Amino acid sequence: MSLLQSPVPAPPAARNNKEAASKSKETARKNKETGHRIRVAIAAWASILFLAAIAIYGANYYLLPLDQRPFSDKYELLRPSGAIGINLGVLGTVLFFIIFLYALRKVIPWLGRFGTARHWMDFHVIAGITAPIVIAFHASFKFRGIAGVAFWIMVLVAISGFIGRYLYSQIPRSLNAAELSLNELQVNERELAEALLGQSVYSANQLDRVLHVPTKEHIKQIGPLLAICEMIALDVRRPFQVAALRRVSCGFAGKLSSAGGLFSSGNREVEHVVRLVRQKAALSKRVVFLDQTQRVFHLWHVIHRPFSYAFAVLAIFHIVVVMGLGFMTVGLR
């Protein structure tokens, strides 16, 4: 056979098998993501309901002045060494270990087989938010000595975790991949513009108000910290810009049902436009801010890790002292 001869096309059965395998993989991936979202929702709601139950049950104890708490009927249960208080400390310790599993998965190979880094990050964030509140209930909101220092360091770690999670979500896997996705969205935007030529629902100026992002030159000039502040400001403004976009195409009843455009208008064409505009605006922002986001994210790691390790050392020291001297004598009364 000549080298210039066209290759023999694959039989229809082979093509169908490949398409079926591809669809099967995509379905499996979607099922995994759906299952993960369900597990995250269950964990988040379980944390919220548990913390709410403790707060409601112990409100009339935790709100008492310190010198009146020993006379409360719930003192023996809710004090740090009480039946509930000490178990809250145990739960806080368990959450503390869950938080550090996210870092350990990078050095313990078999942990890496359970979900992606993003999946671990989601549970890391839930545990990181829940743990300080559980520890606060365990300590009866009395933060003294080494335990108090450990608690406030943990609060700083949790706050920095919010910032880190936001930065993590703003960094695409690679700049080239982001540009490819952006090009695809730009094609969709051009198709959308063609679809809108025959109507007067949205003008180019109305779309530009939502799609506008600063130039890369401007971002370089203002520096990384101000760039992050500007990126956050864009994210805060965008829902209101999208709401204004919806209101243009909604009547009075539509504005009421969508809460002024903050929720779906129920119009398929409008919501299709809104979805594309959101995707393009978000991706354009990430590409423009990528360099500065990566710099701040690196700085965040430099700050976040030492605080995490300091908290771990102090927390372990506190646990060892409590275990060594006994719950009843060391508990803050």
Domain ranges of the chain: 35-172+302-330, 175-295
1-47 pLDDT per residue, tens: 444 454 555 566 555 666 666 666 667 667 777 888 899 999 999 99
CB 78 within 8 A of CB 85: yes
Q: Residue 207's closest CA among 169, 175, 248, 245?
A: 245
How far apart are the C-alpha atoms of 268 and 273, rounded to whole Å?
9
Instruction: Please determine, for residue 115, whether its predicted confidence score (pLDDT) is greater than 50.
Output: yes
Phi/psi at 104 (5° precision): -70, -25
- Residue 139 is given by DSSP the state T
> In the structure, what pLDDT confidence band is assigned to residue 55 with cuts at 50, 70 and 90?
very high
**pLDDT at res. 203:** 75
pLDDT above 70 as % of the chain: 79
Per the model's pLDDT, the better-predicted residue between 81 and 74 turns out to be: 74
Cα of 197 vs its chain's centroid, Å: 38
Task: Please provide the size of the chain in residues.
Answer: 333
How many of the other CB atoms lie within 10 Å of CB of 257?
13
309-323 pLDDT per residue, tens: 787 787 777 777 777
10-19, 173-182, 187-196: least confident range? 173-182
Instruction: Please determine, for residue 200, whether its predicted confidence score (pLDDT) is greater than 70.
Output: no
Per the model's pLDDT, the better-predicted residue between 272 and 195 turns out to be: 272
CB 126 within 8 A of CB 47: yes
How far apart are the C-alpha atoms of 25 and 233, rounded to whole Å?
38
Token digits for 129? 């938010």
Token digits for 21? 């395998």
